[in-house]
Amino acid sequence: MKGIKIVATGKYLPRNIVSNNDFSEIVETSDEWISQRTGMKNRHLSSGEPTWLMGSLAAQDALSSGGIDPLDIDLILVTSVTSDYMTPSAACLVQAHIGAQNAICMDVNAACSGFVYALDMARRYLCFDDIRRVLIVSSETLSKITDYTDRASCVLFGDAAGACVVEAADSLYSSDLGSDGTKAQLLYCKNPFQVKHPFMKPELVPEYDEIISPETEFLYMDGREVYKFAVKALPKAIGAACEKAGIRVEDIDLIIPHQANIRIVETAARTLGVPMGKMYVNLEKYGNTSSACIPMCLDEISKGGLLKRGQTVAVVGFGAGVTYAAAIFKW
C-alpha cells in the first residue's frame, strides 16, 4: 500500500493572545461558561498579518526544521476559508514568499476538514513519481469573518497557521472523506461580491431558491446542529477508515481531532470506546483555528517527540459544507 510520511512540520501563531476574560468585556459571557461549554481558555488573533503571510511563516518553520530546500517542493496545497485574495491562490503567494519556484500551486477549500482533504490529495499525487514532496499549508485568520457581537460564535475562533511536508512511504494509509451540501446552511460566510455589471437584465434572472440564509456578512453558525453533525461524523469517519485499513480503533496510538469543542472530542471518544489520553487536544490554548488545528497539533507532537516512528496516527476533521474527513497513517 502506498502510504505517506510527514517529514517536517511548522506553525505560526500571531502574538496577540485573547483570553476568555477579555471576551467578557465585549459580550455577555464568562470564563466559566466558555471553559465549561468549550474547553477553551485562550486564542491568538492576528494583528493584521494576512493569511498568506501566516501560512508562509508556518511553511518556512516546517522547511527549516526539516532541513528541506524550498526548491525541492513539487506541490503546494494551501487550505483556508479566509484567503486574502479570490485570485491568485494563497498557494501561489506562499510559493513566492518561500522561494519554491519548482512547485505547482493550488488551494483547497473544505473548511475545517481542509487539512485532511489536502493530506488525502497529497497522498494521491504522491502515488505518481513526478511529485515527490508536497507542502501542505493550512492558514486561517477567522477573526476577519467573525461577528464579535455574537457571543455564541466569537469566543470559539482563533487565528493560526500550520504546515507540513509530506513524502510517499511504503506503509499503511487509509482515509474516509465525505461531503453533504444539503447542510450548507449550518455554517457559511457569503462572498461579498455580487453580480452587478452595466449589462444587467433583471428579466433574464432565472427562478432559484437561495440555499443559504439568513443574510449576514460574517461567519454564520448553527452551533447546536453543527455539534450534532460533528459528534456523529467524527467517530463514523474514524470507524470507516479503520475498516478500510483492516485495523481496529484500539490499534490507533493517537487520534488528532479538529479542535472545535472539548465536549465534541469527549463524546466522540466515548462513542469510539477510546480513552481521552489517546485524543490529542490543545484547544484550550488556541481555540478553533479551522483547517489549521490539525497541522498545529502535528507540529506540537513532532517537536515534542510525542510519537515514535512507526506508531499509528489518525487525523479527523469536520466542518462547513458540510464536510468530514479522516486519515490513518504511520508516524
Contact residues toward ligand ACO (CB under 6 A) are 29, 33-34, 37-38, 111-112, 151-152, 155, 187, 221, 223-224, 226-227, 230, 260-261, 288, 290, 319-320
Catalytic residue among 92, 164, 258, 297: 258
Residue number closest to ligand ACO, CB atom: 223
Nearer to ligand ACO, 105 or 159 (CB): 159
Asked if 154 is an active-site residue, the reply is no
Pairing of strands 187-188, 173-179: unpaired
Contact 317, 325 (CB under 8 A): yes
Distance in Å, CB of 38 to ligand ACO, minimum? 5
Catalytic residue at 258?
Answer: yes
Least distance to ligand ACO, CB of residue 169, Å: 29
| Minimum distance, C-beta of residue 64 to ligand ACO, in the bound complex (Å) | 29
We find the least distance from the C-beta atom of residue 186 to ligand ACO, in angstroms, to be 9
Question: In the chain, what are the helix, strand and coil shares in percent, each to the nearest 5?
Answer: 40, 25, 35
- Element at 223 (helix H, strand E): helix 223-245
Q: Of 112, 154, 164, 297, which residue is the catalytic one?
A: 112
Q: By C-beta, is 91 or 110 nearer to ligand ACO? A: 110
Determine how β-strand 159-169 pairs with β-strand 312-319.
unpaired
- Round to whole Å and give the CA distance between 146 and 182: 23
Q: Compare residues 13 and 112 and give the one whose CB is closer to ligand ACO.
A: 112
User: Rounded to the nearest whole angstrom, what is the least distance from the CB of residue 322 to ligand ACO in the complex?
Assistant: 8
Active-site residue identified among 44, 288, 293, 297: 288
∠ CA(58), CA(161), CA(146), 5° rounding?
155
Contact 328, 309 (CB under 8 A): no
Helix, strand, or coil here: 47? coil
112 is an active site residue = yes
| Lookup result for grid cell 479551522 | 290
- 31-38 and 262-272 helices, crossing angle to 10°: 20
Q: Which is nearer to ligand ACO, 280 or 331 (CB)?
A: 280
**Which set of grid coordinates corresponds to residue 96?**
513566492
Q: Cell 479503520: give the residue.
A: 242
- Residue 224 or 270: which CB sits closer to ligand ACO? 224
- Would you name the residues annotated as active-site residues? 112, 258, 288
